[in-house]
Structure 1
Amino acid sequence: MLEIADRLHPWFEDGRDFAVATVVAVDGSAPRGPGAALAVDRDGTVVGSVSGGCVEAEVYELCEQALDDGRTVRRRFGYSDEDAFAAGLTCGGVIDILIAPVRPAAPVLRAAVAAATRREAVALARVVRGPDDLLGGALSVSADGAYEGHIGGRPELGRSAAAEARAMLDTGRTGTVEIAEGGSHCPGGLTLLVESSLPPPRMIVFGAVDFATALVRAGAFLGYHVTVCDARPVFATRARFPEADEVVVDWPHRYLRSTTTDDRTVLCVLTHDTKFDVPLLEAALRLPVAYVGAMGSRRTHRERNRRLREAGVTEDELTRLHSPIGLDLGARTPEETALSIAAEIVAVRRGGTGTPLTGSHTPIHRDPGQESRP
């Protein structure tokens, strides 16, 4: 649900009834992972996706049924050999989907969607397996562990669920967690679907050059909060980078040391000027960020590495540098170059190889546990 929070928030505000289908579990190859969601309102408007098209038609009908009868159901979809037109996943995987009606006054769901829309850290925990009287229980949990909502009016279950959801939120994960059997208050235990929503990761582009304009657009398209930084005020202007979230005039290394980064941050160095690059990369390669890339020819790369070694950067630190930046796509234009950089960032974060899928035997849809945190 939180995946499509931006589109659901106006529905809550307008007082619309709707039903939401959420991927709860995946087995084998499947196009969407846990947390993927599709919603349908009473007018038949659809937002989101649970399978990239494989089972959307049947899920749409189940959402309409949930709106009519008010029941929450869980359905499993998999590949059908007998009937190629049956609702199933032709990729061979199996997905479990929870379909639930949602009323606009639902305070927990509304609060979680609103927080995600504001780009605040929030986790939404919903009971997807357990005693009938607990199904539909939900909690909205913030980064400090505070929560609202309940599970069947049982405080001990609420505390346990909130603790599990907080742990998932801390690592930015979405998936199911089990609350073990706890005697008479929870015979058989519970399964929770926990959806985590974090503020968008940062992309910092150093160097207000023509290539940066295209990379800003690519970064925004991928969902990054994009900052452009350059020491030259004549180039680092809002007019040149209208799609950037921030435009900063400062020396790159000084700005990097003063700003906040984390293990989802990607740093793209496009200046290819020694006086900017060396102090900047010296700092960048010692930060626990997701990606550091630097533009330049192979000759520039060799000379830059020599200067970085002289500055005290170790060989292990240098192995973190993606330079020349980007994948080999034969790119020429700024837009093509931005695409090659964005493709490398996705490959690094998701554990891809960057090789063509045609003729390869690597998994198309990787286990989320093998990926870097988004």
Structure 2
Amino acid sequence: MRDVIDAIRGWHEQGLRMALATVVKVYGSAPRGLGSKMVVNERGEFAGSVSAGCVEGAVIEEARSVLKGGQPRLLEYGISDDLAFSVGLTCGGIIHVFLESLDWEPDEHRVGVKALMEAVEKDETVARVTALAGPLAGRDCLLRMDGSRLGMLPFGEENETVERLALERLRAQQTARLEVALASGAQDVWVEVHAPRPVLVVVGGVHLAIPLVDFAAKLGFHTVVVDARKAFANRERFPHADEVQIGWPAEVLEGMKLHENTFIAVVSHDDKLDIPALKAALNSPARYVGALGSKKTQERRREELRQMGVTEENLRRIHGPIGMDIGAATPGEIAVAILAEMIAARRGKG
């Protein structure tokens, strides 16, 4: 969604009507992934992409029809091997694209794109839940992590069932297309999770942190290094970090806006820094908290954290010793092991 927000806002300010195309199903080696978007205005201009050029022209024609008053529609495109090869793939695939008009403000059936854009820009974790087929197609609501919502699901007495399934996807941060069996019949439901950009906070500007920050940046993380020691936290050591903060890590963490897409690696191996930082991290909604150190060190830290009032439930959140067991030995290898564990947690595999 983020890559088309500027276009949507600009065209709205010009008073142009728009349609939004979203990839809701992928079979085989399709050019773009699930959730890829393209917005088309009434002049035929577009931003974003659903297929890296293979079917954009056909989607634009369908969008013009929707903007003339047509209903939302679910489109299927087969991408031939020749077309796929032309955009850098070895074989083709099939994509399903949901096409709908964009309403800026809410009405009785739809939330409106303004509310979704505001949530995305505020770094909220939300899910847009949309009916994809039949007379309910295009009706939607926004769900938040706490279970509250904006708008209403369109399934009447069976809203609770759909909402429960959608909340499971939201809390796992997994966008999904659901085939929900209801008493009223099978429903085709799109649950698209919009989460903040992943943030990696590294506590301790030690040698291991250098490749960890470098690799994480390449994976799309916003990277933050925190250390109380100026010799460890500086731009000379971390030229590629998005932020380098000097201060007591616990105080820095408590002052940050930590969210469900925050990953915290406590690696200074100095209890004065690590234990208070772990307490602050565990009291936050961070998705991942990992700590460097042997099993013996982990248990000693856990006991100190218990005495500081950290609950057993929160203690179980610590990934320690940090990283997947891949036999890593060098700082670079350990960084790979840590990021592998973070990716598993992010994708619901940890």
* TM-score normalised according to structure 2 size: 0.67
Residue 34 of structure 1: SS of its match in structure 2?
Answer: coil
**Aligned sequence identity (%):** 27
Residues 212 and 339 in structure 2, CA contact (< 8 A), matched pair in contact too: no
Shift in CA distance, 138/283, structure 1 to aligned 2, threshold 3 Å: closer
Shift of 1:226: 3.0
Match of 2:112 among 109, 114, 133: 109
Are positions 1:29 and 2:24 aligned together? no
Q: Residues 207 and 169 from structure 1, CA distance in 2 versus in 1: closer, same or farther, beyond 3 angstroms?
A: same
More displaced stretch, 88-97 vs 13-22 = 88-97
C-alpha distance in structure 2 between counterparts of 1:76 and 1:60, whole Å: 14
CA pair 278-112 structure 1, distance change in 2 beyond 3 A: closer
SS of the residue 1:70 aligns to:
coil
Deviations 1:305-341 (CA, angstroms, capped at 9, x unpaired): 699599789xx9447365523359xxxxxxxxxxxx6
Cα shift readout 1:23-42 (whole Å, capped 9, x = no counterpart)? 11222333433322121223
Structure 1 gap segments, 5+ residues each: 295-303, 329-340, 352-368
> Could you list the runs of 5+ residues in structure 2 that have no partner in the other structure?
303-318
Change (3 A) 1:325 1:191: farther
Deviation digits for residues 169-200 of structure 1, max 9, x if unmatched?
11111111233232xxx3x3311101111233
Taking the TM superposition and a 5 Å limit, the aligned residue runs for 1:215-294 are 219=216, 222-233=219-230, 236=233, 244=242, 247-250=245-248, 252=249, 265-267=262-264, 275=270, 290=288
Counterpart residue number, 1:143: 145
Q: Tell me if the contact between 1:109 and 1:140 (Cα under 8 Å) persists in the aligned partners.
A: no
Matched pairs, number = 319
Q: Which residue type is aligned with residue 139 of structure 1?
A: C
SS of residue in 2 equivalent to 1:205: strand
Contact 1:206 1:229 survives alignment (8 Å) = yes
Q: What is the rounded CA distance, in whole Å, between the counterparts of 2:215 and 2:5 in structure 1?
A: 20
Q: Residue type of the partner of 2:187?
A: L
TM-score calculated relative to the size of structure 1: 0.64
Kindly indicate whether the alpha-carbon contact (under 8 Å) linking 1:25 and 1:176 is maintained by their aligned counterparts in 2: yes
Q: How far apart are the structure 2 equivalents of 1:213 and 1:279?
A: 18
Q: 1:327 to 1:115 in 2, by over 3 A?
A: same
The separation in 1 between residues aligned to 2:215 and 2:17, in whole angstroms, is 35
In the alignment, the residues of structure 1 paired with residue 244 and residue 329 of structure 2 have an alpha-carbon distance, to the nearest angstrom, of: 25
| Alpha-carbon distance in 2 for matches of 1:214, 1:7 | 34
The offset of 1:115, in angstroms, is: 0.7
The aligned residue for residue 165 of structure 2 is 164
CA pair 308-256 structure 1, distance change in 2 beyond 3 A: farther
Structure 1 residues 150 and 47 mapped into 2: Cα distance closer, same or farther (>3 Å)? same
Contact 2:73 2:100 in 1 (8 A): yes
> How far, CA to CA, are the matches of 1:266 and 1:245 in structure 2?
15
Aligned Cα root-mean-square deviation (Å): 4.8
State the one-letter code of the partner of 2:166: A
Offset, 1:128: 0.7
Distance in 2, matches of 1:7 and 1:66, equals 22
